[in-house]
Amino acid sequence: MFSRIYKKHSLEYTLQWALGLLITLTLAALVLLAGWIGREATFTFIASRLAHDAEAIIAGFDPTSKTLTRTLPAIYTQPFSGHYYTIHFQDAQSLRSRSLWDTDLNLEQLPTGSQSGKLIDGPIEQRLYLWSAAYEKQGVAFTIAVAEDIAPLLNAIRQFVWYGLLLAILAALALLLTQKRILRRAFARLDSVRDDIRRIKQGSGGELRSDVPAEVEPLVSEFNQLLSTWRGHIERSRNASGNLAHALKSPLHLLYQIGIEKNNQAINEQAERMQQIIERELNRARIAGNVSAGKRFHPGEDMQDLIDTIKILFRDKNLDIELHVQTPEHLPFEQDDMHELIGNLLDNAAKWARNKIVITLEADQGLSLVIQDDGPGIDPALTGVLLRRGRRLDEQTPGHGLGLAIVQDIVEQYKGRIEFTRSAILGGVCITVQLPFQGDY
């Protein structure tokens, strides 16, 4: 499910998780930095206060007798109060606060004029910040250390960091959800491009609209230019075919007359064959009519146009063409291809039919086209001959044999199949074409 929603190459997925990771790491770094700043500020404040206490102790201290001459606050006399001091002399003697009881701070002797501060473990699992400095008073050198239990402060900082990280995670999630909505709204502006492409695919749209974000405007412009060029090539190719056929009619007619005058049967046959090909191309142009390149096939409308054209081309037969359509409004096939395919099949059926043609179109997993006529029919064993380019079973019937070969090409292009049988209804040929739907439909 996750892989279907967030695909490997999804821009939304990449932006969401890249920005989400950046936001989370940034917020976490800010919380940790705030915790570190709070810890260092606490140490600085405690060191300043302990230095003041040390100065008060030194002021009431007699280095000669190595005793205190003034009374200190009760916190230095109450056992394990969390406030301690100790004075070390160079002769290894020391003076400690009563609050230390029977423990020691393990003070190291410092050079005169130096000082230091550090965290150490104290009695009864206390966490002490120890500030120490070396002094000389009345010619006596000593090192004094003053310590305070800051475990409650450290716990408060630790809680601040944890709560801060939790809030950072919640804030990151809120930002991710907000960011997701913003990205969805931004990408929703591309829905118009998708809808336009779908309309073009269905044959109901001309080109992509240009009111798109600036980032994709060059892509839309290039696509529209490519679409216009492609349609132009198709239209010019189709027009050129019709123009060429028209241009060749007069020279071929002249060639045919020369063959008659010289009584040259070979020239007459080839000229007549070329004339038939030209007529075929002109019929194709008339059948195609105003079909737009890239437009979808609409059975209801397009079939009636084809039938009307066939009736005009074969008006002398007074054909009765019956149409049954059970398909959606449009099908995922090129209108030009379907006009070519069905037009050729109808053209072939009209040539052989006596009076009646029945056409059935149905759609399930693909398009099923059945065309039946009341003509003489064919031997199913000769079906392969019909599909060969330039081959006809009856050389006396007008035509050049290219129509069904073109039909076969279109059927193969759509990965379909074509079948010739005898019509059980009309007795003539029954042509069945099956074209599967391609892609999503």
What digits encode the pLDDT tens for the residues 49-74?
A: 888 888 888 887 777 777 776 777 87
Record the tokens describing residue 365, joined without a space. Answer: 């997993």
Q: How many CA atoms lie within 13 A of 173 on its CB side?
A: 5
Rounded Cα distance between 321 and 353, Å, is: 10
pLDDT at 320: 92
Alpha-helix runs per DSSP H in 68-215: 151-188, 191-202
| Residue labelled with tokens 């606490």 | 42
Record the tokens describing residue 93, joined without a space. Answer: 């003697």
The answer to whether 80 and 126 are in contact (CB under 8 A) is yes
Query: Where is 409: in which H helix or E strand?
Result: helix 403-413
Measured in whole angstroms, how far is the alpha carbon of residue 307 from the centre of its chain?
A: 44
What is the CB neighbour count within 10 angstroms for residue 299? 24
Which SS3 state, helix, strand or coil, does residue 160 take? helix
Question: What is the widest separation between alpha-carbon atoms in the chain?
Answer: 154
Record the tokens describing residue 30, joined without a space. Answer: 């800010």
pLDDT at 365: 84
pLDDT at 391: 46
pLDDT at 400: 38
pLDDT at 398: 43
Rounded Cα distance between 408 and 288, Å, is: 18
pLDDT beneath 70, residues of the chain = 1-9, 69, 201-205, 234, 238-239, 241-242, 245-246, 249, 256, 276, 278-294, 379-403, 439-441
For 387-399, write each residue's pLDDT tens digit.
554 444 443 344 4
The answer to whether 15 and 183 are in contact (CB under 8 A) is yes
| DSSP for residue 98 | G
| Helices and strands: H and E segment counts in the chain | 10, 14
